A and B are shown apart, each in its own frame.
Chain A
């Protein structure tokens, strides 16, 4: 069976090149998805994330990608990175309220902490419930760069402490994974995470 990883290119702000390079470094084959027809032939999906929640949802709707993306997420292994994880939520509150893909019963809101925002730097993940994506990476440090956080009661795989406050740093439900951090910017441990994703 083919093992082609699609990276969703949803418009203006995504830094998809870094993810492309990291997956190739991990030994994967990549196809960039610029159009709904590009979903054909891919066996896994990565949703990158740079930009804002509502702009991203608007771009998805504008490009007629919202519905097909949701279908794909429900059928093939999917990894959402940072904002790509955030849009898996039911609702987001970044520059106003907007509806997400509703894969997880969750919301995204501004980090509610009394410390410097954004949370930037290498920080350790503490695994609550391990999964195949995090295999062998249980106490590793990954690169975080975010002002908004993912809030849910279920499906939490790991948390990360930032200045005394626990942030949800990864989630998983079935074949859908989300990471708050940027594996493509997290040294060898990030490449290992992509290897795990390729091997799912």
Chain B
């Protein structure tokens, strides 16, 4: 099975931004233009995450999402500030294929995972997990890595899988945006702990980081942002490198 190469767009409407360790917001560009650029480069999926809506309790900005979805003929996963089944419904209606949820599920009401999986099918429900390590204790965070929940990673993972999550997006607060490599041990533990697809984010710096992650942890997908935003590499280059190293990726 091909490993998916996803692009993670972190949004502070109306811009794509890129924090480091979930802090500081560097403006990168327009969601519509960047999504199209990465689609043209051969991305397998676009992740669109509004990183301020939960934190600032803002409404979801549907019109930018809709504009970004148009002309993207690849899967489009959208999250940030999702609180209700109506939010899920509206996001699917304007072009999302999957909806990504974290803060509301972990802080307010995890039953939304069950309800969404039942109505929209579990494949359409992605649970975003933002994790920080405290001396071998992995704590889940909400609100784009700003608020500790006290929940232990593996018990929360088990809970969301039991509730019907179709996919996990794992982001590491200790690694994200730093371009110093993935936490491949953590990635492997998470991939091996569940029977649903896991997408690993946070850490791609050099091409070999991505290769090592895939070889060691065998995730279903890898989400990349900084090295693309900084024009260090294109998706095409990443895929060629992986393919040359015997890793199956789609064209």
Interface residues of A (CB under 8 A from B): 12-15, 17-18, 21-22, 25, 50-52, 55, 83, 95, 115-118, 120-123, 141, 143, 145-147, 162-163, 182, 184-188, 190-191
Residue contact A15 to B73, C-beta cutoff 8 Å: no
Question: How far, in angstroms, from A15 to B69 measured CA to CA in the complex?
Answer: 12
Residue B23 at the A interface, CB < 8 A?
A: no
Q: Quick check: is B166 within 8 A (CB to CB) of the other chain?
A: yes
B74 to chain A, nearest CB (A): 6
Given A12-B119, A15-B96, verify A121-B69 contact (CB < 8 Å): no
Enumerate B65-110 residues with CB–CB distance to A below 8 Å.
69-71, 73-75, 89, 92-98
What separation, in Å, do the CA atoms of A184 and B195 have in the docked complex? 27
Interfacial chain A residues near B4, Cβ < 8 Å:
120-122
Across the interface, do A187 and B2 meet the contact criterion of CB distance under 8 Å? no
Pull 8 A–B residue pairs with CB atoms less than 8 Å apart, ordered by A: A118-B122, A121-B1, A122-B2, A143-B75, A145-B75, A146-B123, A186-B74, A188-B73
Known: A12-B119, A145-B123. Is A118-B197 also a contact (CB below 8 A)?
yes
A120 to chain B, nearest CB (A): 5
Cβ contacts under 8 Å, A116 to chain B: 194-197, 220
Q: Which residue of A lies closest to B199 (CB)?
A: A120
Residues in A with CB closer than 8 Å to B194 are 116
Query: Which secondary structure characterizes the binding site on chain A?
Result: mixed
Q: Please determine whether A117 and B195 come into contact, CB atoms closer than 8 angstroms.
A: yes
Could you tell me if B73 and A191 are in contact, using CB atoms closer than 8 angstroms? Answer: yes
Enumerate chain A residues within 8 angstroms of B73, measured Cβ to Cβ. Answer: 18, 21-22, 25, 184-188, 190-191
Closest CB of chain A to B241's CB: distance in Å? 18
CB distance from B238 to the nearest CB of A (A): 15
Instruction: Mark B1-43 against chain A: 1 for CB-CB distance below 8 A, else 0.
Output: 1111000000000000000000000000000000000000000
B74 and A147 within 8 A (CB): no
Residue count of chain B within 8 Å CB distance of chain A? 36
Q: Name the B residues within 8 Å of A120 (CB-CB).
A: 4, 123, 166-167, 197, 220-221
Bound Cα distance from A18 to B124, whole angstroms: 15
Bound complex: CA A55 to CA B69 (Å):
26
Please name the residue on chain B nearest to A164 by beta carbon.
B1
Among all A-B residue pairs, the 5 with the closest Cβ atoms: A122-B250, A118-B123, A145-B123, A121-B4, A17-B95
B89 proximity list for chain A (CB < 8 A):
12-13
Residues of B within 8 A of A186 (CB): 73-74
Q: Is B120 an interface residue (CB 8 A)?
A: yes
Interface hub of B4, B71, B121, B197 (most chain A Cβ within 10 A): B121
How far is A185 from B124 in the complex, measured between Cα atoms in Å?
A: 14
- Asked if A121 meets B121 with Cβ closer than 8 Å, knowing A21-B70, A116-B197, A145-B75, the reply is no
Per the bound structure, the CA–CA distance linking A12 and B92 in Å amounts to 10
B70 touches A13 (CB 8 A): no
With both chains docked as a complex, state the minimum distance between the C-beta of A49 and any C-beta of chain B, in angstroms: 9
Which of A15, A21, A25, A141 counts the most chain B CB atoms within 10 A?
A15
Please pick, from A50, A123, A163, A187, the residue contacting B124 in the complex, using a CB distance under 8 A. A50
Q: How far is the CB of B87 from chain A (nearest CB, A)?
A: 13
The docked-state distance in angstroms from the alpha carbon of A25 to that of B71 is 8
Given the contacts A116-B220, A123-B2, A15 and B92 also touching, CB distance less than 8 Å:
yes
